Structure 1
Amino acid sequence: MITIADLPWDRVDEVLHLALGPGQADFVGAIGDMVKDPLPTRDFHVVRESSEVVGFFKIDRDYAPSHDFAEPHGWGLRGLLIGAQYQGRGFGRALLAALPGYLAGRYPGQALYYLTVNCRNTRAHNAYLSGGWTDTGGLYHGGSSGPQNILRLETASL
């Protein structure tokens, strides 16, 4: 059973042990770099299994101005990472199943989220689709590792 919670900026050391698996650097940044994000419009969140930190992600409340595919009121999910040392235990699947409800409760006035996932990362793409995200059919070409599928999640009906 996982839990998701806010991660205050002064407690980012709690996630620094999360490792990238082989080949993952093409799709997500190293955790030490991700927590150096200076923008106050990006909220950090931690994923725990019992008291053990197993994952991390950010919500970007200022996503739409820098992503022309996003509707003006759309926010972004960024930097989702389940540490390599915790992968293969169902934590990612559990997180994606819990995420829509968590977001609806944590951000009650916000109903639309976007993310991009590298076209080569079919495993993550399928996991997001299973977690309730829909593929818009569009591609984002602003990433450093090639084209990315654009996905969206609407939490208004929760």
Structure 2
Amino acid sequence: MQTRLVAYEALNAVQRQQTSAIEVHPEQLPFCGDMYCALNTLLVNPSPGVKGFALLADEIPVAFLLLKRPPCLPHWADQHSATLHALQVDRHQQGRGFGKACLQALPAAAMQAWPGIKAIELSVDSANVAAMGLYLGLGWVDGGEAYKARVGYERRLSWMLDG
């Protein structure tokens, strides 16, 4: 199966419709939100500081994520980074390596979108064991600090880029 991470604006009309139908398991919603909110962030008030990406598996969207840069960075992020948000793998496609594929393709996509960035950062609920294991297993570095977030405590992880 061929996968590739593509910018949302490069999707055709059918792929955009398929992307809007991505759903996560209900228990994942507090951590990643839903597609309605993610696409609302991307499309309602477009900003050069927000970009959406879909992971295509044999040209069908199976996952989605947002990247943010100034002026849309969260308070915890370094201004020279992009931040990862709303990573969602369709509930019917989970367990097939698509989250990993997104993260492996992310550095190249981020540097293509914003050539000057130095790192990608994310914030993850420390109780989200599956996500923490995925990120740390792929080489993301835990910043060592937890902060009170909307849901529980979150850890800040980073991926340094070779830009």
**TM value normalised by structure 1:** 0.86
Match of 1:6 in 2: 7
Report the Cα offset of residue 101 of structure 1. Answer: 3.0
After TM superposition, the structure 1 = structure 2 runs for residues 1-158 of structure 1, keeping only pairs within 5 Å, are 1-8=2-9, 12-37=16-41, 38-40=45-47, 41-62=49-70, 66-67=74-75, 69-141=76-148, 143-156=149-162
Amino acid paired to 2:109: Y
Write the letter of the residue equivalent to 1:153: W
User: Does the 8 Å CA contact 1:103/1:155 hold for their aligned counterparts?
Assistant: no
Q: What stretches of structure 2 of length at least 5 have no aligned partner?
A: none
Summarize deviations over 1:22-55 as a string: whole Å, max 9, x none: 4101211111111101350211111100111001
**TM-score, with length taken from structure 2:** 0.84
In 2, the alpha carbon distance for the partners of 1:34 and 1:44 equals 8
SS of aligned partner of 1:153: strand
Unaligned stretches of 5+ residues in structure 1: none
Work out the number of aligned pairs and report it: 155
Identity of aligned residues (%): 25
Q: Please tell me the root mean square deviation across aligned C-alpha atoms, in Å.
A: 2.2
